[in-house]
Amino acid sequence: MDMFKMIKEAAAMKSKLSEMEKSLKEKIIDTEENGIKVKINAKSEILDIKLSQDAVNQGIEKLEKDILSALKKATKEAQAAMMEEAKSLTGGMKIPGLM
């Protein structure tokens, strides 16, 4: 493979990665767990957390566990969305560090 072709392919991959990052930021996932709503994007950036009055009234220990559970659920869904986006970018190829 000649150097020019490699550089061209690298530039194309960089462009695709940039598009993927933008897409992941824009993909919003809303989850709810025991009265706790979490809004997160597919880059696993937490955007918002809302607590219902029932969740708040159940006691601090239960609330802490439920918040952690809701965040784990949201993060898991965000990671699944990221993997799906990466699959479409790579055509199913597994690239170390990306997947």
For the stretch 2-42, pLDDT in tens is 888 888 888 888 888 888 889 899 999 999 999 999 999 99
Residue 80 has pLDDT above 90, yes or no: yes
Q: How far apart are CA 96 and CA 23, in angstroms?
A: 21
Number of C-beta neighbours around residue 79 at 10 A: 12
**pLDDT at residue 14, as a whole number:** 84
Q: Residues 49-79: pLDDT tens digits?
A: 999 999 999 999 999 999 999 999 999 999 9
pLDDT value for 26: 94
Whether 36 and 49 have beta carbons less than 8 Å apart is answered as yes
Question: How many Cβ atoms are within 10 Å of 41's Cβ, its own excluded?
Answer: 19
